[in-house]
């Protein structure tokens, strides 16, 4: 049985990776990934063999990895953040059915909700929902319903993929929906370039967020009814008596 790894690289900096992720990657012969992440890995571990496919060739990327594993190579598929949060572990397990002699092992990493939360302060201290605004693979109506349910349930909301060239107004559309449930004064925050040069965090109201242009390297947080700003940080109290 050939073991094949799906590894979350964490949000950006090498030191935000887990020790296990680092050890697994060091032990591999071949690293497979989306072009951008493979380039990042190459800087850390230049001596490995790298195989890449561009965006939208995710299934091909998985088969590339399994085929190397079948040749007897030790293979890791890398993802940014956590392998299991909008990452590649699901598709690897699905396509893994075609390769019964390979066993997929998932190695977790710190996803942007956690790393971005740490930069902002402590937005996720209570129950939270993570929603991607990308409608490439999900109908917008489904995203809209989830935004409404999360706001109505008073969850802290963390938005992934808040924008792209083709979806420049999606964050505004999301904010408009959320605003109908919870009002425009809610404390929100954005973090961009987490763990990379130019890392930037900002706390603002929901109405300010609605008018904000963000890029695809930004993670967005909408507080719950208790969330507040303390000294420029976004903090959701858990409810302890101080």
87 to 106, contacts with a copy of itself by CB under 8 A? 87, 89-97, 106
20 touches a copy of itself by CB under 8 A: yes
According to the binding rule CB under 8 A, does residue 197 interact with a copy of itself?
Answer: no
**Closest to 59 in 3D by CA, of 13, 104, 93, 107:** 93
Strand partners, 53: 34
Q: Encoding tokens for residue 110?
A: 């710190």
- Binding flag, residue 107, a copy of itself (CB under 8 A): yes
The reply on whether position 238 binds a copy of itself by CB under 8 A is yes
Shortest distance, CB of residue 98 to a copy of itself, whole angstroms? 9
Is residue 85 a contact point for a copy of itself (CB under 8 A)?
yes
Residue 131 binding a copy of itself, by CB under 8 A = yes
Q: Give the Cα separation of 73 and 229 in Å (integer).
A: 50
Query: Can residue 154 be called a binding residue for a copy of itself (CB under 8 A)?
Result: yes
Does the footprint of a copy of itself cover residue 237 (CB under 8 A)?
yes
Contact 110, 82 (CB under 8 A): yes
Question: 101 burial class (0-12, 13-18, 19+ CB within 10 angstroms)?
Answer: exposed
> Residue 114 interacts with a copy of itself (CB under 8 A)?
yes
Smallest separation (angstroms) from a copy of itself to the CB of 117: 4
* Shorter beta-carbon distance to a copy of itself: residue 197 or 240: 240
Which candidate, 35, 66, 67, places its Cα nearest to that of 51? Answer: 35
Q: Which residue, 18 or 176, has its beta carbon nearer to a copy of itself?
A: 18
Instruction: Please work out, in degrees rounded to the nearest 5, the angle formed at the alpha carbon of residue 199 by the alpha carbons of 171 and 76.
Output: 90
Contact 159, 133 (CB under 8 A): yes
What DSSP assignment string belongs to 58-87? HHHHHHHHHHHHHTT--EEEEESB-TTSSS
Residue 35 DSSP symbol? H
CB closer to a copy of itself out of 18 and 70: 18
Of 27-56, which residues contact a copy of itself (CB under 8 A)?
A: none
Q: Pick the piece of the chain touching a copy of itself (CB under 8 A) from 26-34, 36-44, 129-137, 185-193.
A: 129-137
Beta carbon nearer to a copy of itself, 38 or 115: 115
């Amino acid at each position: 049985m050939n073991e094949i790894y799906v590894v979350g690289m964490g949000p950006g900096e090498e030191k935000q990776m887990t020790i296990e992720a680092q050890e697994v990657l060091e032990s591999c012969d071949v690293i497979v990934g989306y072009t951008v992440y493979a380039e990042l890995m190459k800087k850390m571990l230049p001596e490995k063999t790298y195989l890449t496919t561009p965006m939208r060739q995710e299934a091909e990327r998985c088969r590339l990895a399994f085929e190397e594993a079948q040749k007897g190579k030790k293979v890791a598929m890398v993802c940014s953040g956590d392998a299991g949060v909008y990452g590649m572990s699901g598709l690897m397990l699905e396509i893994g059915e075609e390769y019964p002699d390979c066993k997929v092992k998932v190695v977790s990493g710190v996803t942007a909700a956690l790393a971005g939360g740490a930069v902002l302060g402590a937005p996720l201290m209570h129950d939270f929902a993570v929603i991607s605004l990308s409608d490439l693979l999900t109908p917008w109506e489904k995203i809209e319903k989830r935004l409404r349910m999360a706001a109505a349930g008073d969850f802290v909301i963390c938005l992934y993929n808040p924008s792209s060239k083709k979806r420049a107004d999606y964050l505004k559309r999301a904010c408009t929906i959320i605003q109908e449930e919870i009002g425009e004064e809610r404390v929100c925050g954005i973090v961009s370039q987490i763990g990379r040069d130019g890392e930037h965090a900002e706390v603002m109201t929901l109405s300010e967020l609605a008018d904000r242009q963000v890029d695809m390297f930004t993670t967005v947080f909408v507080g719950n009814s208790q969330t507040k700003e303390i000294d420029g940080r976004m903090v959701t109290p858990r409810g302890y008596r101080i």
